[in-house]
Structure 1
């Protein structure tokens, strides 16, 4: 995490807004948002990019996920 010069200790308003943005997770397929990491969501790294998929999208595409197909194929 980087901080602005006025927030050198990482506790100012800028640090709080960075933490809020970092914890918001969006499903890469349908756009559903979650306020933080969900233990039931699926995480996939494709082309070096971490993507999260909600329960519904993961269940609908379970065979493709287990077959390690990129999400572009499903």
Structure 2
């Protein structure tokens, strides 16, 4: 038996939490390659493809110059 605290003892596998867009609330069953991920004020945030595209200029504007 594993000592990992995330292990379930009833034999069922834990379901992954859905990913939710921090802007519009769109949901995905897992990480999506077209979504944007960021850490803002220590909080993890995901943005769907639509919100990422619509706000690309603002997203890039916050990057340090070392990234561009």
TM-score scaled by structure 1? Answer: 0.68
**In angstroms, what is the RMSD of aligned CA positions?**
2.3
1:3 and 1:37 map into 2 onto residues whose CA distance is 20
In the alignment of these two chains, the number of paired residues is: 60
1:61 and 1:28 map into 2 onto residues whose CA distance is 13
Identify the residue that residue 42 of structure 1 maps to in structure 2.
36
TM-score scaled by structure 2? Answer: 0.73
Identify the residue that residue 53 of structure 1 maps to in structure 2.
47
Mark the runs of 5 or more structure 1 residues left unpaired by the alignment: 70-74
Q: Which has the higher helix share?
A: 1
Identify the residue that residue 66 of structure 2 maps to in structure 1.
none
SS of aligned partner of 1:20: coil
With over 3 angstroms needed to count, the CA separation of the structure-2 counterparts of 1:12 and 1:41, relative to structure 1, is same
Identify the residue that residue 72 of structure 1 maps to in structure 2.
none
1:27 and 1:2 map into 2 onto residues whose CA distance is 28
CA shift for structure 1 position 63? 0.5
Q: Which runs of 4+ in 1 moved over 6 A?
A: none
